[in-house]
Structure 1
Amino acid sequence: MFFLGCFATATAAAAAAEVAAPVPGYVLDNTEVREIHAASLKRDYQLYVALPDSYRASERRYPVVFVVDAGYAFPVARGIASRLHRHAGMEEAIVVGLSYAKGDEGVYSRRRDYTPSVPRNGGYRSDMPGRPAAFGEADAYGRFIATEVFPHVAAHYRADMRRKIFVGHSYGSLLGLQVLLTRPNTFEHYILGSPSLWFDRGVMFDREKAYAAAHGDMPASVFFGIGSRETLAPGKQRSRAEEDADMVADLRDFHGALAAHRYRGLATTLKVFADEDHASVFPLVLTHGLRAYLKQK
């Protein structure tokens, strides 16, 4: 009985140890995480970096894809970029994901960092207790990317900083438009999916008009994509409010305004993806947007 008791105790201890042992997480191949302090914003972020398959064995420089909303979008962008190279002959690229601010909830961080203004209609609640809702820092965040993220990437990787691609979706596309309408040559190519052009009563339409009044050129290429289901529900009257927005019509109007102003150096494409909605369309926008810029063998 003594030996049976010892055996039972040992078995139970082993089972408990097995249960308590941490299960390792899945790690994406050829990826790195770098900490970066945004001195201008007084916040800390992370950069998620995916290197091409050939990076370690080559000496060449690669175009760089910068993607916001990195928690979701980085692994998607990494996978699509890799697959386009392996199976469709597209050139390889470094993918850099820009995280939300450390210590912030995702909604709080993206509302603050990606939106171009403080909404005049108000009505937003903060998702972080004890902190007021924050908006309107897209211009400052765009400067952080250009003046702090770019030098960091250039110093640590063989990046071709003459071929930089911005990728954003929804609020992330508002950030891209803010950069495009203030310092368009920050990136050579913009991939903008389902931009929230209803935000702040259509403030980006006003900013495009202001840009056109002061500039005749816009040196960049832009791929716009959106799902065909991102339209106004039947029976509703269209307005520039989130609940009554027709995002497809808004994007067609914005794209038309860019075309009407005939900016020198600007090349744009707009594609509406059939049977896709706001939640499902991003991988298609990214795939077609990369094809529109990266070279094919």
Structure 2
Amino acid sequence: MRAEHTEREYEIRVWVPDSAPPASGYPVIYLLDANAVFGTMVEAMCAQSLRPEKTGVVPSVIVGIGYRASAPFPPDRHYDFMMSVPEKELPRRPDGATWPEHGGAEAFTQFIEEQLKPDIERRYAIDRSRQSVVGHSLGGLFVLQLLLDHPGTFRNYVAGSPSLHWNLAWIARQQETFVSRMTDKHSEIHVFLAAGELEGSHPSGVIERSRAFTQWLNRTDSRVVRADFICFEDEGHVSVLPVFIGRALRFVSSD
């Protein structure tokens, strides 16, 4: 699918349950980094949604947003998942090289809201009140940027090992005005953050920052936000993906 405003190309993968949709339509999950984790989420959904009364996972449409590339994490994601950040504020790359082009998060949001969602809703029976977005690492950063800048675009915001250290100044500014962007028309918003225990030694401080972000959300005087954080034992930044995705399915099904 080509984004109308940027001409960027995306590979969209869709999985639909075999069971008939509820009268209100299927819940829908928009999954970032589909090149890496679409198959993982589909397999978890297939296995767990067979007995929702036992697993807590209900059959849902999965929409994977990826790229026409063989790599699991193509560099295009840096552009799509990140707001514009001054070069001096970016974390240092381990090999000293410059980071790929970034700054397209707002245009990516526009693509999702104005093109992708309407297309999915035309093709499938979707419950628009039960929409979720799931991302990991830079994808997790995008999910939280979306929450702060456009609350109410989804019901569930799910961020695994979010790269909050990439955009600290912007996040701090958005936190100051977050509650003012919430209105009575917004339904209750649920937020789930997670990280792996073995990420604790990483200089990004992902565990501490994720826990602090969750605590901040729960302290806001907005009645529409509930936030949870889990640190998965003995998992690292990449090995956490399967267990994070499994728990994410339960979280978005519990709303």
Taking structure 1 as the reference length, what is the TM-score of the superposition?
0.74
In the aligned structure 2, how far is the partner of 1:183 from the partner of 1:113?
16
Answer whether contact 2:151 2:182 (CA < 8 A) is retained: no
- Deviation of residue 139 (structure 1)? 1.7
Q: Does 1:95 align with 2:62?
A: yes
Residue among 77, 84, 88 paired with 2:41: 77
Partner of 1:145: 112
How far apart in 1 are the matches of 2:116 and 2:78? 20
1:155 aligns with 2:122: yes
Task: Provide the rounded CA distance (Å) in 2 between the counterparts of 1:194 and 1:156.
Answer: 32
Once the two structures are superposed, the pairs formed by residues 251-290 of structure 1 within 5 Å of their partners are 251-290=210-249
| Corresponding position of 1:228 | 197
Q: AA paired with 1:278?
A: H
**d(CA) in 2 for partners of 1:277, 1:254:** 20
Contact 2:163–2:204, Cα closer than 8 Å, also in 1:
no
Q: Does 1:50 align with 2:30?
A: no
Amino acid across the alignment from 1:54: S
Tell me which amino acid in the other structure corresponds to 1:266.
Answer: V
The verdict on how the C-alpha distance between 1:59 and 1:279 changes in structure 2, with shifts beyond 3 A counting, is closer
Q: Distance in 2 between matches of 1:179 and 1:221?
A: 13
C-alpha contact 1:119 1:199 (8 A) present in aligned 2: no
Q: SS at 1:181's partner residue?
A: helix
8 Å contact from structure 2 (residues 2, 9) kept in 1? yes
Aligned mates of 2:83, 2:139 — CA distance in 1: 11
Measure how far apart 1:273 and its partner are. Answer: 0.8
Which has the higher Rg, Structure 1 or Structure 2? 1
Listed one character per residue, the Cα deviations across residues 217-253 of structure 1 (whole Å, up to 9, x for unaligned) are: 67411111111111136xxxxxxxxxx2221011112
SS in 2 for 1:54: coil
Contact 1:69-1:168 at 8 Å conserved across structures: yes
Q: Which amino acid aligns with 1:293?
A: V
**Residue identity in the other structure for 2:209:** D
CA distance in 2, matches of 1:229, 1:188: 30
Asked if residue 165 in structure 1 is aligned to residue 132 in structure 2, the reply is yes
- CA-based RMSD: 2.5
* Deviation by residue 1:157-177 (Cα, 9 ceiling, x = unmatched): 122222111110000011111
Q: CA deviation at 1:277?
A: 0.9
RCO higher in 1 or 2 (8 Å CA, sep ≥ 6)? 2
Structure 2, unaligned runs of 5 or more: none
* TM-score for both structures, normalised by structure 2: 0.85
Deviation at residue 69 of structure 1 after TM alignment = 0.2
What CA distance in whole angstroms lies between the structure 1 residues aligned with 2:15 and 2:241?
A: 19
Deviations 1:165-212 (A, max 9, x none): 111000001111111111111111111101001114454233222424
SS of the residue corresponding to residue 161 of structure 1 reads strand
What stretches of structure 1 of length at least 5 have no aligned partner? 1-35, 128-132, 234-243
Distance in 2, Cα, partners of 1:59 & 1:257: 35
Give deviations 1:61-103, integer Å, cap 9, x for gaps: 2111110100111111111111111253632011110012x47
